[in-house]
Amino acid sequence: MLTYTPASQRPIPPTREYPWLLLLLAFAWLWPGVFSHDLWKPSEPELYTAISETPFGAWQPMLFGAAYFQAAPLYVQTAQLFQRLLSPWAADAYSAARFASVFYTSLGLLGSGMAGYRFLGRHYGRSVVLILIGSAGLLPLAHFMDGQSLLFAGIGLAMWGYAVAHRQAILAALLIAIASVLLMQSAGIIIAAVPLFTGWLLWLTHAPWRSNRILITLICATLTTLPLASIYPIALSITQPAAFAQYLHQHLFGGYGGTQHFQAAFQLPYYLQHILWFAFPALPLAIWTATRRKPLPANAASFAYYTLALLTLLIALNPQRDQDSLVLILPPLALLGAAQLDNLRRGAV
């Protein structure tokens, strides 16, 4: 007797793809670059000095005996942890400290890849990771001492959180909360608010996101983020009141200043000069996707475009010029670029 098996119940045909090759490629790209070279990047000697001077477990990085707010406390403590684990038996002190960048870059790649898989479907996570690995701007952040790798990890984890929000509300809320804390550590509360603000904006304005599960995710993420983000300022106010006052008045909002000195400036021309090389090939691939007639999944498209719009606006208004800030928009650009990557004509890239 002939039977019919619905397409949704048929087993997925085997493929000739080897996920371990992607892991090997990511390993070859991430790990060897941190070894056997001195402090190349101009900011590395200053950051390494702060890592060396700050007591292990301290809430505030120190440089020459004064509070140092240009380094994320979480990054400094992570670098010190890797120094204790790896130096001197496996790596010198410089290389061991750089493993903090490797760790947070790996988190960002994991989050971005999982977002591509959950948002777009099978195999797309691999494409997102490959686009990011190929982007020129990510290379120095992954291989040098640079606290901006926290930004990359934060946006990647936030993307993963929203990609699973329709199915796994608790996991999504935790990922979004962790992402917000990482962003706050490196860039202040304005940038840290982007993941939550994006989610609430999507829920209010975009029908595919207006569901009870998304609402539960956003409420849980907000309630989880607030106490987690409060740990650092509360601990700093107790242990170092003078440093807390300086943080509150001058650094609470990151590059925009603090409660006593808030500032903004239009820096878009500066970033337009750097985006073409920094985000290559993620930017051209995202533009290719945006110009195709084939529609993207509604959830992926709306999240990527909303996130890009908010982050671009905040980067353009930041008075502190730093091309590494563009790493914030790399994951959503890679997500868009991966959506139509397989439809590129042969020889187009």
How confident is the model over 153-186, as pLDDT tens digits?
Answer: 999 999 999 999 999 999 999 999 999 999 999 9
| Predicted confidence (pLDDT) at residue 56 exceeds the cutoff of 70 | yes
| Predicted confidence (pLDDT) at residue 35 exceeds the cutoff of 80 | no
| Predicted confidence (pLDDT) at residue 64 exceeds the cutoff of 60 | yes
> Which one-letter amino acid corresponds to residue 342?
D
Give, for 63, the enclosing helix (H) or strand (E). strand 62-63
CB 87 within 8 A of CB 96: yes
pLDDT, tens only, 97-152: 888 999 999 999 999 999 999 999 878 998 999 999 989 899 888 888 888 999 99
The domain segmentation of the chain, as residue ranges, is: 69-227+262-343
Mean pLDDT for all residues in the chain: 87
| Predicted confidence (pLDDT) at residue 79 exceeds the cutoff of 80 | yes
The reported pLDDT for the residue numbered 1 is 46
pTM of the model: 0.90
User: Measuring CA to CA, which residue among 105, 185, 184, 191 is closest to residue 140?
Assistant: 105
CA angle 226, 230, 235 (to 5 degrees): 165
Q: Using alpha carbons, list the distances in angstroms from residue 133 to 39, 113, 152, 279.
A: 22, 11, 12, 11
Give the bridge partners for 66, in sequence order: 63
